[in-house]
Amino acid sequence: MLSPSGIIEESYEIKNSKFLAFLTPKEVFIDFIAKMRVKHPKAAHFVNASRGFNEQGQIVESFSDDGEPKGTSGMPTLKVLRGYELIECGLVIVRYFGGVLLGSGGLVRAYTQSAKEVILKAQNLDALIPYTPKTKKEIFIPFSDLSQAEYWIKKMEIEILKRNFQSEGVLLEISASLESVRSFLEALEH
């Protein structure tokens, strides 16, 4: 499975309708939809689909037709995400209506093609990276080991979610791949 490393944009046009497709990491997806609504106030539709994992490790999917006829936009977009085995991502397609009705089949083809175009661009830019499951861990770091811990955190690209300073040290909540967490703990022991 792959995930986007950043936001990728591509446009597609058919019968004067313009489709702006944006592939985003899941963590920015919801805010990104809101930003697109502000940035493109004259757009007719903001179709979207997303895939990600919940806390139990199950795949959770969502989609919205945003006013397009049911089944013509959100679900086809989601099917493209599935087909390319993308995860922890969202895809927003902003449509500017061009005055020509595309019909149900035309909408399905247009949204499907628009989703494929942005994913192909992401592939060409090497912007799709292998998905690595992350785990969260709380670890107490004595002040005497803090500089060494910060060195390893940076080197291993471990994300610090919370810092709780205490009298003897810092309680950190970290997020990283299971392998990185194990390596980090081993490095601290030596």
Q: Are residues 114 and 140 in the same domain?
A: no
Indicate whether 119 and 169 sit together in one domain: no
Mean pLDDT for 70-91 is 97
Per-residue pLDDT band for 82 (boundaries 50, 70, 90) equals very high
Same domain for 28 and 108?
yes
pTM over 0.95: no
Task: Answer yes or no: do 68 and 143 share one domain.
Answer: no
- Asked which of 109, 130, 151 is the last residue of a domain, the reply is 130
Range of the domain at 142: 134-189
> Per-residue confidence at 188, pLDDT binned at 50, 70, 90?
confident
Q: Residue 163 class from Cβ within 10 Å (0-12 exposed, 13-18 middle, 19+ buried)? A: exposed
Residues 72 and 110 in one domain: yes
Whichever domain contains 141, its CATH number is: 3.30.70.260
Evaluate if residue 143 carries a pLDDT over 90: yes
Among residues 87, 106, 130, which one ends one of the domains?
Answer: 130
Average pLDDT value for the chain: 94
Split into its structural domains, the chain has a count of: 2
Give DSSP secondary structure letters for 68-121: SPTTSSHHHHHHHHHHTTB-SEEEEEEEE--SS--HHHHHHHHHHHHHHHHHHH
- Kindly indicate the confidence band of residue 98, based on its pLDDT and cuts at 50, 70 and 90: confident
Same domain assignment for residues 6 and 22: yes
Residue 142: per-residue pLDDT = 94
Q: Mark whether 93 and 185 lie in a shared domain.
A: no
CATH of residue 62: 3.30.230.30
Domain's final residue, options 83, 112, 130? 130
More confident residue, 170 or 132: 170
State pLDDT tens for residues 10-68.
999 999 999 999 999 998 999 999 999 999 999 999 999 999 998 778 999 999 999 99
